[in-house]
A and B are shown apart, each in its own frame.
Chain A
């Protein structure tokens, strides 16, 4: 569920006045300057940090400004396992983020519980999409930094509704 931009009209119906160019420009601006929240829970947090560092450099996509406060960000990268004790905090942080906001579930634990899900388990919430809406899933245990970069680029495509260099990529 993407709030804001083109998708909003699918939920609320077409708006009275449709200023297409402004919305396109707004979405382009939002996509190219995502501000993630520092929300590393476990091992994937280290790969998220490595993505923000000099070798993989998240900053060249505009998403390198990690803010600790949820009021100042628009992207929540859930990196790591959500334990049952932590789940209320995750929901509270998600609700504290102002719209438009997006989320990426990074790593197998955030997607479906990962290696910690088994029939008798008692400790974790098997998947972030059980408690908050998730836009992009990045699999891996942990995913390589290039994987997270691809996840962010896919999210940018979702926001702007345009492919990036699609004619070169699919050739």
Chain B
């Protein structure tokens, strides 16, 4: 019959696990009909390093450096989540100056993470210039954090009970200069990217996520705020000294890719506001709790702490059985839930749109694979 010769068949195309190394090692199996995708199935596990198994074989302080490697782009939020969980278990309170230093460094780290995302996302879409600008700004922030903590990327800066190193006037002055500089640069980013016609065409009306999908898939972070739900753990379940700062939560309207981009860019501005207020309000005092036990041996029990990282809600669930080693540590990472929505929103899109959607999810694969 004539129709047989014209029958279209779907074919399977592999995206990854080696593709331009912005996201990490992710493999997406695409079943395609021509240029349109009929099925997208992410295959994770290429970065599985066994963090949770290590947690059961390490004491509580020995596991702390792992937290910087789970999500290396916002390592300080993960440090904070884990330290908060253990401090709750053993009943330590962090002094106020220590909390302020934690907030300042975590917000600086959030800015570096978002800057890298902006640059890498535009590199995926084909623009080579913004990544050079954003990495340049990022280097300024990294110099500040390097001055204080000693690392550029995989920080292990917080301790149970506070922070080990105090900030001095050089650091404060450097922060203020950085804030001023970055504020001027936002205008550059606006001109170069946000008002760019090609960028808007590629991201407007692509990758819609409804509010019911957000609830069913458990999305958090800018994915959720881009769809209009104002849920940010810093405001909904405040921890540390966040209640003392005045900042907004940017939300989008439609839930498409452009909204998520705008949410992240505006979050950077809010982070700058938080750092400014923190530098103004920081009190004098100790930076570590007074009586930190030499051997961390919490009583039996479980605790769940949630922290807002650049990608969403990081939850640290620690189960202790009274030993110096944890019984179980579960790291609830935001990218795990965020990526699980990809099979649903990638149907009937073009491959070029899939790249835009995948980038807007802001995945860090080693955190999914733990």
Contacts and interface: CB of A to CB of B under 8 A. Distances in A.
A and B touch in the complex (CB under 8 A): yes
B169 to A, nearest CB: 25
Contacts of B54: 116, 118, 121
B49 A46 contact: no
Contacts, number: 104
A20 interface: no
Contact of B45 (A38, A83, A124): A83
Interface in B31-71: 45-50, 53-54, 57, 65-66, 69
A151 B191 CA distance: 38
Interface residues of B, number: 35
Contacts of A46: 72-73, 116, 153
B369 interface: yes
B49 A124 contact: yes
A64 to B, nearest CB: 12
A89 interface: yes
Contact of A115 (B20, B66, B153): B66
Say what secondary structure dominates the interface of chain A: loop
Contacts of B139: 50, 53, 55
Interface in B3-33: 17-22, 24-25
Contacts of B69: 42-43, 115
A123 B57 CA distance: 14
A121 B369 CA distance: 15
Contacts of A60: none
Task: Bin the interface of chain A by size.
Answer: 35 or more
B136 A53 contact: yes
B185 interface: no
Interface in A124-144: 124, 141-142, 144
Contact of A53 (B17, B22, B49, B131): B131
Given A83-B49, A115-B66, A53 B132 contact: yes
A93 interface: yes
A122 B131 CA distance: 37
Nearest to A122: B50
A120 B49 CA distance: 12
A79 B53 CA distance: 23
A10 interface: no
Interface string B333-360: 0000000000000000000000000000
Interface of B: 17-22, 24-25, 45-50, 53-54, 57, 65-66, 69, 72-73, 116, 120, 131-132, 135-136, 138-139, 152-154, 366, 369
Q: Which 5 A-B residue pairings sit nearest by Cβ, starting from the closest?
A: A40-B21, A123-B50, A43-B72, A53-B135, A86-B46
29 contacts: A38-B19, A39-B18, A39-B21, A41-B47, A42-B49, A42-B72, A42-B366, A43-B72, A43-B154, A46-B153, A49-B120, A50-B139, A53-B139, A54-B132, A55-B139, A80-B47, A81-B47, A83-B47, A83-B49, A83-B369, A86-B25, A89-B18, A89-B46, A115-B65, A116-B54, A118-B54, A118-B57, A124-B49, A142-B154
